[in-house]
Structure 1
Amino acid sequence: METTGILDEALQRLHGSGPERVGRLTNHAPMAVEALAARGRAGAVHRWLDLYARKLEEFPAGVEPVTDAGWRLALGDPRRVADWIDYFGREIGERPWRDVLAQWWPRLLPGMYGGSTHPVIRVGHAVRTLLAGEVTEPRLAELAHGLGYWAARHRPVSGLAPLRGADSAAGALDAVVPVAERDGAFPARLDRVTGLPVWAAGVTDPDEARRRLAELVRAATHRYATHGHGEETMLVHAATAPNAVLRTLPALPRPLWAPSLHAAWTASAAVTAMYAPDAPVAFVPPGSRTAEEVFELALAHGDEHVVKLTDTALDIGDEQALAAALRAVELSEPLR
């Protein structure tokens, strides 16, 4: 009951803020507080929010209502984010949230690269909460905010050449060719990705898709332990974006599972191509630290990406996943 009440209070507190700040930087607070609550740290939620509050901006003004007849014209227009959130709020208020998600997931999936993959990650956190606990108004509203943010930042990627891949997810990530110029913001780097290795392309069975998606999340998380120094913040998304998709699968119709795998692979591989370091570093084992101790270190550090990567690492729970979380703590600037 304490976790439910605190999380709902935090989400209500956050829904007066926009999904971005200074024009393009993502508001990570809804994702981070959900991770804290899910990991049994609800008591730290408001203290963490007090530190993060300086990064919040007011909810933006609307432009024009999104309609069932005209939604395509508004798709991918970040100026319409308030309109999109209002639209999904109405939809979820009138229909079961799973029905809304199932209708819009295939429409939004091709554009999961927009907003540096943050919108799909926000949706994944919202869905995890709805699946795991009580369905409350603040949690339904959070799903509306996540879907609305995704629709506003929707950005497809097409024309990628299929490159030689590997059988395993880890091998395929190793086969990713880094972009020639690794500077600039996410959109500019994404424009330089012209080809990605082929992996799991023939998977159509839903259960196999789910298994391979879990393999990808594990491989991308493990890889952060040795490659995270390429860009300590952005490479987090190579693991957290596919994990958001994996967390959403149980709420989706099974025919959508294989397309979800393929989109998640493209996103994870693209992030890897954009931010991969020139060479890996040696893997440093976590020693005797338990998963709970690692999460406490992440919470004490406070950085939102560290919290979210550690949350994903705990889903895996093995030695190298915990080492990845500790690497993020080492590399990232703490929240102060």
Structure 2
Amino acid sequence: MTLTTHTPSDTSGTLDEALERLHSFGPERGGWLSNHAPMAVEALVRHGQAPAVHRWLDHYRQKLEDMPDPAVEVTPENWQEALGDPRRIADWAAYFERETAGRPWREVLAEWWPRLLPGIAAGATHPVIRVGHSVRTLLGAPEHGPRATLPAAPEHGPRVTELAHALGYWAARHQPLPPLSSLAPAADAAAALDAVAPVPDRSGGIRNRLDQLTAFPAWPGHAVTDPDTARARLEELVRAATHRYATYGYGEPIMLVHAATAPNAVLRTLPALPRELWAPSLDAAWAASAAVTAAYSPQRPAEPVPVPGGLSPEEVFAQAAAHGDDHTIKFTDTALDIGDATALTAALRSVELNPPAF
């Protein structure tokens, strides 16, 4: 698969075409595995790989399943009984399509974000990650860095529909964590992640593992109320989780990427949210990252593995894109948001650890 390191100035047409292709498919396959295509194609476009998007989708198409049949319409009156019911995936997608057709998408997001946030672990955190990618496309141009420039999305169109499907997936898979107590405080986010205790029984899937959670360590991000401080702490958490993958990712290379990509999805969403939602968003992001760490992190780090040095961020992403694995693409996208040498090392480790798609 031939890929490019060229960053186009406007690739929104490719992204919108790809999303339109995807919106007839459901958010899951094989019963509960997530459809990663909307997230992966957004990252590919953002990092200069738009010419490869449709070929990547042609390959990924074999994994996709049609959107399930609708069951019972979700309405403003009955939504609470439908929350967390995966049989209602199509109903929820249709509900949010109607909501975003009738109101500005930011208004819909602000209303539903605090309702959905307690269930951030839904679908192994894939729904919130999909929301984060979607919001980034809707906000338009990046804040910094050599990335593809997307104009701000209109109030209707494929990128708004993508947000509707992402929110619908989250609502259908909504899964609160069990009640958690606080352990001794840690000095920073990295120390807090190191202090997360592994769940005792790892014989089952993620839902079985999350049910075993009882307590997480506190850290300086705990009980933050100032929005700007909350954002800074969230950036710290994303950086710590990304760096940690470089030495702990070997334990569960696919699942552990979510310890970084889930809080980064929250971070990407903050600019579209009212500032009073930033602090509770930090709390939920920490819970998601700690939950994935507890469920999948190995007891001890591996010895650092030498990786090729001197590569630019664009060259690192090109390697991830050529590798083709959806989790690797999304994790490398998060690593480039961090952008330092350790983050790029972690991204290259994901290329080594995860099975290639091509």
TM-score tier after normalising by the smaller chain length: over 0.9
| Equivalent position of 1:295 in the other structure | 317
Indicate the larger mover: 227-236 or 182-191.
182-191
Percent identical: 65
Show the 5 A alignment for 1:39-54.
Answer: 39-54=47-62
Contact 1:112 1:120 in 2 (8 A): yes
Change (3 A) 1:163 1:123: same
In structure 2, distance between residues paired with 1:176 and 1:163:
9
In structure 2, distance between residues paired with 1:276 and 1:164:
20
Contact 1:113 1:154 in 2 (8 A): yes
Matched, 1:176 2:196: yes
Matched, 1:334 2:335: no
Matched, 1:79 2:87: yes
Shift of 1:286: 4.4
| Equivalent position of 2:302 in the other structure | 281
SS of aligned partner of 2:249: helix
Matched, 1:185 2:178: no
In structure 2, distance between residues paired with 1:257 and 1:209:
6
In structure 2, distance between residues paired with 1:159 and 1:291:
40
SS of aligned partner of 1:230: coil
| Equivalent position of 2:117 in the other structure | 109
1:15-48 Cα deviation digits (max 9, x unpaired): 0100000110000000000001111211111011
Matched, 1:207 2:228: yes
| Matching residue within 115, 140, 143 for 2:163 | 143
TM-score when normalising by structure 2:
0.92
Indicate the larger mover: 276-285 or 310-319.
276-285
| Matching residue within 21, 24, 35 for 2:32 | 24
Shift of 1:305: 0.3
In structure 2, distance between residues paired with 1:187 and 1:131:
33
1:136-194 Cα deviation digits (max 9, x unpaired): 40000000000000000001113112112312100100111111122321101111111
Amino acid at match of 1:255: E
In structure 1, distance between residues paired with 2:274 and 2:308:
38
Higher helix share: 1
In structure 1, distance between residues paired with 2:107 and 2:244:
35
Shift of 1:276: 0.9
1:260-293 Cα deviation digits (max 9, x unpaired): 0000001100100110112101234541111111
Amino acid at match of 1:227: Y
Matched, 1:164 2:184: yes
| Equivalent position of 1:120 in the other structure | 128
Contact 1:227 1:281 in 2 (8 A): yes
RMSD between superposed Cα atoms in Å = 1.0
Matched, 1:311 2:329: no
In structure 2, distance between residues paired with 1:76 and 1:202:
27
SS of aligned partner of 1:241: helix
Change (3 A) 1:324 1:280: same
Amino acid at match of 1:317: G
Pairs aligned (count)? 336
SS of aligned partner of 1:229: coil
| Equivalent position of 1:134 in the other structure | 152
Contact 2:307 2:348 in 1 (8 A): no
Contact 1:115 1:153 in 2 (8 A): yes
SS of aligned partner of 2:11: helix
In structure 2, distance between residues paired with 1:190 and 1:300:
33
Shift of 1:128: 0.1
SS of aligned partner of 2:250: helix
SS of aligned partner of 1:162: strand
Structure 1 residue runs of 4 or more that deviate by more than 2 Å after TM superposition? 282-286
Shift of 1:244: 0.2
